[in-house]
């Protein structure tokens, strides 16, 4: 690790701490050249599968798009940010555990619907009504009846 102050190539780790959730390692380092101290952060470098859209295009997975979908469905609903964060983490874990290089966009939509159903029934219906693109009121009614059971 090069020193950010003088560019010296040798630094010594003085202290290492793991974050509370275990996702991040914080290291205090001291430069062997100028003796200044600085902090580095380490996190695992994970690669999410590419998302295959309905039209066949492949795009990179974007967590921000998930968050935007949740925000829209949960607008004016009593769900905390921590709950949304946890739901997104579960979806991301599921995608990583699939062990595939590509995932269909509809599979991600189904994962979102599953998490929304656990969080808030109204948000689930909002998302499903747009996602499933209902053609008639009977299909929508069937979804509402399913949720009420």
> Is residue 45 over pLDDT 80?
no
Do 36 and 78 share a domain, yes or no? no
Parent domain of 34: 11-42
Question: What pLDDT was estimated at residue 119?
Answer: 96
**Is residue 54 located within the same domain as residue 22?**
no
Residue 144 lies inside a defined structural domain of this protein: yes
pTM: 0.68
Total domain count, the chain: 2
Domain annotation covers residue 94: yes
Give which of 111, 68, 117, 78 is closest to 92, Cα–Cα. Answer: 111
- Judgement on whether residues 59 and 38 belong to the same structural domain of the protein: no
Residues 59 and 23 in one domain: no
Are 55 and 127 part of one and the same domain?
A: yes
Q: How far apart are CA 87 and CA 95, in angstroms?
A: 13
- Rounded mean pLDDT of 113-130? 93
Q: How far is the C-alpha of 75 from the C-alpha of 69, rounded, in Å?
A: 10
């Amino acid at each position: 690790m090069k020193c950010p102050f003088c560019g010296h190539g040798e630094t010594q780790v003085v202290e290492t701490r793991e974050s509370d959730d275990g996702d991040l390692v914080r290291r205090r380092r001291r430069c062997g050249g100028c003796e200044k101290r600085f902090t580095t952060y380490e996190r695992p470098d994970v690669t999410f599968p590419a998302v295959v859209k309905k039209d066949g295009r492949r795009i990179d997975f974007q967590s921000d798009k998930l968050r935007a979908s949740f925000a829209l469905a949960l607008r004016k609903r009593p769900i905390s940010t921590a709950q949304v964060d946890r739901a997104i983490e579960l979806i991301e874990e599921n995608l990583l555990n699939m062990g595939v290089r590509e995932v269909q966009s509809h599979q991600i939509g189904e994962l979102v619907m599953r998490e929304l159903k656990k969080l808030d029934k109204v948000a689930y219906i909002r998302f499903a009504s747009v996602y499933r693109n209902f053609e008639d009121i009977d299909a929508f009614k069937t979804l509402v009846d399913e949720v009420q059971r």
